[in-house]
Amino acid sequence: MTLELRWFFQDKVPEEINRWFKKEFKKNEGNSTEVIDSYQDIYLFNPEVTYSSIKFRNDTFVIKWRKNTFPIKLNLKNIDMVGNVEDWICWNLEELNASKEIQLYIDKNNKHPWIKLNKKRQKILYKISNNRKEFLVLEEDISKADCSIELSTIMLDKNKDISWWTIAIELFKKTNNNNNNNDKHESTYEEKQVFEKISKIFLKNYPHNDLIAIRSYGYPQLFSLYENLIKL
């Protein structure tokens, strides 16, 4: 389960944003905590549904469901940064045969409900530490990390002229295996406060004033907003 705050933009990442990300997040411990990966996600294209997504990544079947959302407003250096924080639950299933069958189906048929997105992601992991002067410390192991920031580029596989880039902040929520009440998965006041704090740390030197609510959403909403463009 994660809290996620994301903004989408069309076209290529501006050079100023690349410089900001490199300066802010690629500077300690020989960049050993930086995760850079390129991969392809195959999504079930259902633009009428904006609260869930179904996809294959490699041989893993992934279902994500947005349980809740709430607005956030950060004022940094007299600039308002506004977005929509989404509360996601994710299920992963290793499904090699189904992945291969879907891939073959897509390759052999022009009309199908799946789309391929090529992604290149730069992701920096952090651990929250209340015992040190710094609230956030770099973390190498994703299983031990508490939060992350990423800068990613996304491109339609069938039309490489159509692309987006995105900035995202994630807080990895801790689950309680003894708790069977689904309502308890709602974000707590403490989690919201922590999320606001890490967002302010990550974005304190962001160089533009373009982080606005209308650009803040998840991938299902992206498909809905650009339905006609993606279907070309």
pLDDT digit string (tens) for 115-170? 999 999 999 999 998 776 889 999 989 889 999 999 999 999 988 889 999 999 99
Tokens, residue 112: 């199908």
Domain of 186, CATH number, reads 2.40.320
| Residue span of the structural domain in which 112 resides | 2-231
pLDDT in tens, 189-232: 899 999 999 999 999 999 999 999 999 999 999 999 999 888 76
Task: Tally the domains of the chain.
Answer: 1
Global confidence as pTM: 0.89
Q: Report the C-alpha gap between 136 and 146 in whole angstroms.
A: 9
CB-neighbour burial class of residue 107 (10 A; exposed 0-12, middle 13-18, buried 19+): exposed
Return the C-alpha torsion angle 65, 66, 67, 68, nearest 10. Answer: 180
